[in-house]
Amino acid sequence: MAATASRADPFLAFRFEVRLDDLPVGGFSDCGGLAVETEFFDYPAGGVNDHLLRFPGRSRQANLVLKRGIVDRLLWDWHADLVRGVVRFRNGTVVVRDPSGTVAQLRFEFRRALPVKWTGPELSAGGGQVAVESLEIAHHGLDRRA
């Protein structure tokens, strides 16, 4: 009789939380920008005519984009402080949980984050949608911890 193989299902992306240092845990509806890209440089070596040599360069992280229904002014205040010249770096964590919400399956940590852009809600008198704010933040590194 053949042995049963263990099965590893992919993580689901609908149950997550975002933490920013001293701010309350965010109930965000969307979190985008978990991306790291490395530049590559082509080098045409003399006598090698069938391909270019490729060397890695610097890596850069994409800005994170967080969206949530407006419940307070904490994200606005963080960006407004920066506009006024008050620079307050924050570290943060994005935690992806299992479907029950109890077990952390995946964890990304980012450091020295600053707000780049705050976007307010699209308003319409004829609709009944939730007022959603968006905050784009730049950071100095993304690490996967789990």
Query: CA–CA separation, 81 vs 118, rounded Å?
Result: 12
Environment class of 109 (CB within 10 Å of its CB; exposed 0-12, middle 13-18, buried 19+): middle
pLDDT tens for each residue of 33-88: 999 999 999 999 888 889 999 999 999 999 999 998 887 888 999 999 999 999 99
Q: Distances in Å between the alpha carbon of 121 and those of 2, 105, 131? A: 57, 31, 5
User: What are the tens digits of pLDDT across the range 113-142?
Assistant: 999 999 988 888 887 888 889 999 999 999
Q: How confident is the model at residue 144 (pLDDT cuts 50, 70, 90)?
A: very high
Return the closest-CA partner of residue 67 out of 125, 142, 134, 112: 134
